Amino acid sequence: MADALKDKLDKLTRLCAAFAVGDYDFLVRFLPCTPSEHAAGYFGLLEAFQDLLGAQVDLVEIGAIRNPFFKVEVDSNRILDMRRDGGLSLPNVA
């Protein structure tokens, strides 16, 4: 998955510039794991994304969103969808 993101970094950067993005927010869903594996995965991914992008990153776990208004807002503003198999969907950018 990290390789898929690296391959799309230029396009991702252009998207963020086009939409005047100041930081990066990622929705994530972790595979089932122990609490310690979850913590290691969460903070490891956070640090890796910040290192990769050179900017502030927020990770939001999809399953943790309880506010229905926030969920609608999040769902309507997604610009990237990455699957575990490395598939990545981005809107067209000129």
Does the pLDDT value for residue 74 go beyond 60? yes
Tell me how far apart the alpha carbons of residues 4 and 75 are, in angstroms, rounded to a whole number. Answer: 22
DSSP track, 46-77: HHHHHHHHTS-EEEEEGGG---HHHHHHHHHT
Q: Give the phi and the psi of residue 47 in degrees, each rounded to 5.
A: -65, -40
CA distance 94 to 88: 18
- The residue range of the domain holding 27 is 2-87
19-70 per-position pLDDT tens digit: 887 778 888 888 899 999 999 999 999 999 888 777 889 998 888 899 999 8
- Domain for residue 76, yes or no? yes
Mean pLDDT confidence for 9-24: 79
Q: How high is the pLDDT of residue 91?
A: 47
Domain count, the chain: 1
Q: What is the CATH number of the domain that holds 49?
A: 3.30.460
pLDDT at 87 over 60: no
